[in-house]
């Protein structure tokens, strides 16, 4: 697989609000074509990160570059960004709002009907922004990011506040754009969203990077079992001798076991039986990003 160009390089980015450290030494790289999720609970520094990257905030320390260039207004015109809630002139029509953005981006008005059709708002193009529902406003926000066909989209909680239908529509839109080869950087506190949409993920907590990597690799991980037996002492002894176990840990009356790749619960059951122990209970846990995430943020 060819090594793709880095689109965004972040080095030691740090930002404090008074005594509160919102972001601490964040170092991340996003490459062309990735759908990069920034995952973290509320207050973990996701919006701070995206605000710095899009010129709204200035970092205290560290640096970042887009397309190998230092960030500037002209670099930002090559990026379609939606940070927090979409902000438009409430008294202007959708068309006029998009015309202002097109003028800022020097991209002409030709794209406006297309992007409005993409987000299914073409019929409402003459309506004033304040007359739109929350979901429509969010869709217009996404339409505005598509103007000028930018190489990169930066989306902060794009499904925030939407109903299930709206969430599905926005996700669909993001995936369509990803299929077109756009690089997408998306912040979210919703794990399932990141799992469904992103190729890569960085997990933040209290401004610190906890983990980063390919979503599939993080998901694949190891299989987890919870096992019980009438003789716990013997169980622990047998597990210690078992060759296809990564590690195990006794928890109350049960033992949590992590199996090596390629082994399953039947193998463990057979191994224990051969050693003269009948397992009274075996529960399989599929390790998800959620359990990874919860484990990480608990630490």
| Residue from 24, 44, 144, 159 in contact with other proteins (CB under 8 A) | 144
CB of 88 vs other proteins, minimal distance in Å: 7
**The length of the chain, given as a count of residues:** 299
Give the interface segment with other proteins, choosing from 71-79, 160-168, 222-230, 238-246 (CB under 8 A): 71-79
CB of 92 vs other proteins, minimal distance in Å: 6
Q: Is 192 in the site for other proteins (CB under 8 A)?
A: no
Q: State phi, psi for 148 to the nearest 5 degrees.
A: 75, 10
Of residues 88, 97, 104, the one with CA closest to residue 55: 104
Nearer to other proteins, 187 or 255 (CB): 187
Q: Is 106 in the site for other proteins (CB under 8 A)?
A: yes
Of residues 123, 171, 175, 113, the one with CA closest to residue 147: 113
Joined together, the tokens standing for residue 68 give: 């190998």
Q: Is 92 in the site for other proteins (CB under 8 A)?
A: yes
| Residue from 1, 3, 73, 266 in contact with other proteins (CB under 8 A) | 73
CB 94 within 8 A of CB 130: no
Nearer to other proteins, 21 or 228 (CB): 21
CB of 253 vs other proteins, minimal distance in Å: 50
**Terminal C-alpha separation, the chain:** 35
Q: Is 89 in the site for other proteins (CB under 8 A)?
A: yes
Question: Which residues, other chains included, contact 170 with Cβ-Cβ below 8 Å and sequence gap of 6+?
Answer: 138, 139, 142, 158, 159, 162
167 DSSP β-pair partners: none
The H or E element containing residue 245 is: strand 245-251
Q: Is 146 in the site for other proteins (CB under 8 A)?
A: no
Q: Is 77 in the site for other proteins (CB under 8 A)?
A: yes
Q: Is 100 in the site for other proteins (CB under 8 A)?
A: yes
Q: DSSP letters of 175-216? A: HHHHHTT-EEEEEES-HHHHHHH-SEEEEEETTEEEEEEEHH
CB of 150 vs other proteins, minimal distance in Å: 10
Q: Is 83 in the site for other proteins (CB under 8 A)?
A: yes
CB of 290 vs other proteins, minimal distance in Å: 29
CA 159 and chain centroid, separation = 12
Give the interface segment with other proteins, choosing from 6-14, 87-95, 220-228, 274-282 (CB under 8 A): 87-95
Q: Is 88 in the site for other proteins (CB under 8 A)?
A: yes
Q: Which of residues 10-69 bind other proteins (CB under 8 A)?
A: 47, 51, 54-57
CA 210 and chain centroid, separation = 13
Size of the residue set binding other proteins (CB under 8 A): 31
Of residues 39, 122, 55, 96, the one with CA closest to residue 289: 39
| Residue from 24, 49, 59, 81 in contact with other proteins (CB under 8 A) | 81
Interacting residues toward other proteins by CB under 8 A: 47, 51, 54-57, 72-74, 76-77, 81, 83-92, 96, 99-101, 103-106, 144
């Amino acid at each position: 697989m060819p090594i793709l160009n880095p689109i965004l390089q972040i080095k030691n980015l740090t930002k404090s609000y008074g005594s509160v450290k919102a972001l601490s030494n964040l170092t991340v790289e996003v490459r062309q074509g990735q759908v990069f999720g920034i995952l973290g609970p509320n207050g973990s520094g996701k919006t701070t990160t995206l605000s710095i990257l899009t010129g709204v905030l200035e970092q205290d320390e560290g640096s970042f570059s887009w397309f190998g260039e230092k960030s500037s207004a002209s670099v930002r015109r090559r990026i379609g960004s939606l940070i927090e809630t979409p902000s438009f002139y409430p008294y202007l029509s959708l068309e006029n709002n998009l015309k202002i953005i097109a003028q800022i981006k020097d991209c002409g008005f030709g794209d406006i009907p297309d992007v409005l059709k993409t987000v299914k708002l073409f019929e409402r193009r003459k309506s004033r922004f304040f007359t739109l529902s929350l979901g429509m406003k969010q869709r217009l926000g996404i339409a505005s990011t598509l103007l000028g066909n930018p190489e990169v989209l930066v989306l902060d909680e794009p499904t925030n506040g939407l109903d299930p239908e709206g969430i599905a529509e926005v996700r669909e839109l993001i995936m369509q754009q990803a299929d077109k080869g756009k690089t997408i950087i998306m912040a979210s506190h919703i794990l399932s969203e990141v799992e469904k949409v992103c190729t890569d993920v960085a997990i933040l907590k209290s401004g610190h990077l906890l983990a980063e990597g390919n979503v599939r690799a993080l998901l694949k991980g190891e299989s987890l079992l919870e096992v019980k037996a009438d003789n716990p002492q013997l169980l622990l002894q047998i597990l210690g001798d078992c060759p296809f176990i990564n590690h195990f840990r006794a928890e109350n009356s049960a033992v949590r076991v992590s199996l090596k790749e390629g082994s399953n619960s039947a193998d463990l059951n057979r191994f224990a039986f051969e050693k003269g122990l009948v397992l009274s209970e075996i529960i399989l846990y599929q390790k998800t990003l959620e359990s990874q995430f919860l484990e990480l943020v608990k630490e």
